[in-house]
């Protein structure tokens, strides 16, 4: 009998979850280290310390009731800067407009009941030119096929679970379209975790060659994707009022006259002689 996994935090403790976690931290560490600012937020999955290499001083770690009831914190949290873990709804963040320089979403959208609303809220609290990092499951992959098969088997009364049942992966290209509609510019992205969805560490090690082959031969079919974007704000050009009239013309105007076949300008108003 297969053990039931109720949350993604529990899934991360399995061999395949540790394999995924290692790949994601390998991508996040260099990405966050090059981002500067004053405030950073990791929204969801506090078991993943995606901000451990960040140079931003004020870092917040928030979890949502949609993701997990687990409050286990990663051991890599620094003792001198304890994080603040909040329970809230990702569609109503407790931050004012344009106050965060970096937001990381580790599978937050996969577990959100309204991912588009969550993205709009992220756009609201990010400063102009603020950075957004997203990790998500790829539905067009071996893992995505395994998840769809699991749901089919569960409808037939068979026990075959891979990811938690409430996980809803969002396609990579669909997510890019959503971000463009919210005025985000995609800076980079890549796929990873090409090994099949086996649960044994022994079998995962036997398929390690698929990571190298996948990066070269089928890069868009990785089990997860990593995406980085920046918030762009279009500038405005200030213009004068449309009712503003041009400067008044000079009171003395000139008109051409003909003299010996040559045109000459003479004033319309004759000048008075000095008395």
* Helix residue spans in the chain (DSSP H): 8-11, 15-33, 115-125, 142-155, 172-181, 201-206, 209-217
Task: Note the pLDDT of residue 82.
Answer: 44
- Reference 43, options 158, 125, 98; nearest CA is 125
User: How many Å apart are CA 78 and CA 45, to the nearest integer?
Assistant: 17
* Residuewise pLDDT in 10s, the chain (275 residues): 344 455 788 888 899 999 999 999 999 999 999 999 999 999 988 778 899 999 999 998 888 755 544 444 445 444 444 455 666 677 788 889 999 999 999 999 998 889 999 999 999 999 999 999 999 999 999 898 888 887 777 777 776 677 877 788 999 999 999 999 999 999 999 999 999 988 889 999 999 999 999 888 988 999 999 999 999 987 756 565 555 555 555 555 555 555 555 545 445 444 454 44
Which of the 8 DSSP states describes residue 126?
E
Is the CATH number of domain 8-231 3.40.50.150?
Answer: yes
C-alpha 60/C-alpha 125 separation (Å) is: 13
β pairing state of 39-43 and 184-192: unpaired
State the alpha helices, DSSP H only, in 47-125.
Answer: 115-125
Closest of 46, 60, 40, 187 to residue 108, by C-alpha: 46
> Domain boundaries in the chain?
8-231
Model pTM score: 0.77
- In total, the chain counts a number of residues equal to 275
Phi, psi of 57 (to 5 degrees): -70, -50
Backbone angles phi, psi at 27, to 5 degrees: -85, -35
Judged on CB neighbours under 10 Å (0-12, 13-18, 19+), 269 is: exposed
Helix then strand then coil, in percent of the chain rounded to 5, is 30, 25, 50
């Amino acid at each position: 009998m297969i053990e039931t996994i109720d949350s993604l935090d529990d899934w991360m403790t399995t061999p395949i979850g540790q394999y995924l976690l290692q790949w994601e931290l390998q991508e996040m560490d260099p990405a966050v280290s090059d981002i500067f600012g004053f405030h950073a937020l990791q929204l969801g999955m506090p078991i993943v310390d995606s901000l451990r290499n960040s140079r931003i001083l004020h870092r917040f770690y928030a979890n949502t009731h949609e993701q997990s009831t687990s409050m286990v914190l990663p051991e890599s949290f620094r003792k001198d800067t304890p994080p603040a873990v909040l329970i809230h709804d990702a569609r109503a963040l407790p931050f004012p407009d344009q106050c965060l320089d970096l937001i990381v979403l580790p599978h937050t959208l996969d577990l959100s009941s309204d991912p588009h609303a969550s993205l709009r809220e992220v756009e609201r609290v990010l400063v102009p030119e603020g950075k957004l990092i997203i990790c998500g499951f790829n539905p067009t992959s071996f893992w995505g096929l395994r998840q769809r098969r699991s749901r089919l088997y569960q409808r037939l009364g068979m026990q075959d679970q891979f990811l938690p049942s409430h996980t809803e992966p969002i396609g990579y290209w669909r997510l890019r379209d959503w971000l463009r509609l919210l005025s985000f510019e995609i800076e980079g992205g890549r796929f990873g975790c090409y090994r099949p969805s086996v649960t044994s560490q022994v079998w995962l090690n036997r398929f390690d060659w698929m990571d190298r082959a996948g990066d070269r031969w089928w890069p868009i079919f990785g089990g997860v994707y990593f995406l980085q974007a920046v918030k762009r704000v279009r500038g405005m050009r200030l213009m004068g009022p449309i009712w503003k009239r041009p400067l008044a013309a000079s009171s003395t105007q000139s008109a051409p006259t003909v003299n010996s076949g040559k045109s000459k300008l003479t004033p319309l108003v004759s000048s008075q002689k000095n008395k």
